[in-house]
Amino acid sequence: MSFYRLIHEDPGKIKGQIVSIIGGGGKSALLQKIGRELVKENLRVILTSTTKFQPFPQTGFVLVKDGRDFSIELKTLLSELKLAQVAKDYYEHDRFIGVSIPVVQELSRFADVVLIEADGSRQRSLKTHKESEPVIPPFSTTVVIICGCDVVGEPLNEKTVHRAELFSKKWELPFGATLTPEIICKELLSPLSYFRNVPLRSAVRLFINKADSNPIGGKLLAEHLMRKCEHRVFLGSLREHTLTLVNRPLQEA
């Protein structure tokens, strides 16, 4: 199954969408994979971020710093490659500063699809959010929430959870406590975390990644999510190129 099916089975229905990807455990890899798949479907795709991010390999980029006119450069890149990444400026030699929400809206005029990395997780598969996060544009048509199931059954600490101290206080769990499917599910569906800035009209997809590293934990987490929400839940592995829809909500059946 192509990973663009997280958004919609029909690539034609993805045209015109603004998609925000949040969470941890494979955001950047998922963004790139979906982008390249959609290019093969003859769609022009912009990859960008509302947070700091690393440049994507083998992808041309355009900087929009200081209000410069980037339109000709971006149009040329999309015409030649059908894929471009856009950033505000360099943050460090190997990182970019993400663009503002008004710029995201402007970018939608140039491409068929805009894919946004709208969250940061410091390479962790699970995180909890501050009040200002995640930075999801309010006009996003689809929000994909990703979580790596390699954390299921692991102890709560700084290596497994981004902002582990905040996570500990929120759920009244001591450091070292087991990250069960139940508590991970609560975090993923929390209106004070992952769902804080999800637009009411956005379609929401939940993707449990890294099923190859913890198949039992992934299955248990998927079962909890299916019982607790009405959104589509997917289980798979970016590394193994697998993706399975594990439920279809009644309203979509």
Token code pair at residue 192: 């004070």
At 247, the pLDDT band (50, 70, 90 cuts) reads confident
Tell me: the pLDDT tens digits for 199-238?
999 999 999 999 999 999 999 999 999 999 999 999 999 9
DSSP 100-163: PHHHHHHHTTT-SEEEEE----TT-SEE---TT-----TT-SEEEEEEEGGGTTPBPSTTTEET
Neighbours of 8 (CB within 10 A): 17
**Cα–Cα distance measured from residue 54 to residue 37, given in angstroms and rounded to the nearest whole number:** 20
Tell me: the pLDDT tens digits for 80-114?
999 999 999 988 778 899 999 999 999 999 999 99
**What pLDDT, on a 0 to 100 scale, did the predictor assign at position 253?**
47
Tell me: the pLDDT tens digits for 9-45?
999 999 999 999 999 999 999 999 999 999 999 999 9
pTM: 0.95
CA atoms in the 13 A half-sphere facing the CB of 26: 24
**Among residues 64, 57, 138, which one has the least CA distance to residue 101?**
138
**What pLDDT, on a 0 to 100 scale, did the predictor assign at position 220?**
98
For the chain, what's the residue count?
A: 253
The sign of the CA dihedral 87, 93, 95, 101 is negative
Q: Helix axis angle, 164-171 relative to 181-188, nearest 10°? A: 100
**Cα–Cα distance measured from residue 135 to residue 11, given in angstroms and rounded to the nearest whole number:** 26
**Cα–Cα distance measured from residue 69 to residue 145, given in angstroms and rounded to the nearest whole number:** 33
Pairing of strands 242-245, 232-237: antiparallel
**Cα–Cα distance measured from residue 59 to residue 31, given in angstroms and rounded to the nearest whole number:** 12
At 252, the pLDDT band (50, 70, 90 cuts) reads low
At 251, the pLDDT band (50, 70, 90 cuts) reads low
Domains of the chain are: 12-252 (3.40.50)
